[in-house]
Amino acid sequence: MAPHTPQRSGTPGEAGVPLYDGGIGNGFTPIMKASELAPGAMKWVVVDRERVLVANVEGVFYALRDACGHQGAPLSTGTLVGYVIECPLHFACFDARTGELLNGPVSADVPSYQVRVEGDTVYVKR
Ligand code: FES
């Protein structure tokens, strides 16, 4: 009889699939302390030489590319109301949870990134 070999499939985060092997890994980069960013606030950090916007939406952290889908203005210098980020330049609005363009001038969605929080550390995977 063959020894039992556990099989895993799916994507990290699904039932039965570990988020990390042996702690944080799998491409997640520690970027900040969760306690540094209050609910309703956002900031930018650099991950792999790219500006990444981190938003705290009612205690849940989200990460997006920190460049508007219109002309690239830094969204982190805009405003965050609920889950809506408004660009400071021409006021396009994006969903902080997904990067989806909600309204504004000719524009495009912005990429969003996976976020994990362990203890007081926020990790992002680009
Ligand atoms: Fe953001 Fe134009 S650069 S709306």
Q: Splitting the chain (126 residues) into consecutive groups of 10 residues, what average pLDDT does each group show?
A: 38 40 72 96 96 98 97 97 98 98 94 96 94
Is 85 within a domain?
A: yes
Residue 107's pLDDT is 86
Give the contacts of 89 (CB within 8 A, at least 6 positions apart). Answer: 68, 70, 71, 73
Per-residue pLDDT, 24: 67
Domain membership flag for residue 5: no
pTM of the model: 0.80
For the chain, what is the domain count? 1
- Cβ(85) to ligand 1 under 6 A? no
> Is 16 inside any structural domain?
no
The answer, yes or no, to whether any atom of ligand 1 lies below 6 A from the CB of 92, is yes
Is residue 20 a part of any domain in this protein?
Answer: no
The CB of 74 under 6 Å from ligand 1? The reply is: no
**Domain span at 121:** 28-125
CATH number of 42's domain: 2.102.10.10
Whether 55 lines ligand 1, by a CB cut-off of 6 Å, is no
Q: Which of 68, 86, 103 to mutate to test the pocket of ligand 1 (most atoms within 8 A of CB)?
A: 68
| Residue 9, pLDDT score | 36
Is there a domain that residue 51 lies in? yes
- What are the E-state strand segments in 23-120? 28-33, 42-47, 50-57, 60-65, 79-81, 84-86, 93-95, 101-103, 112-118
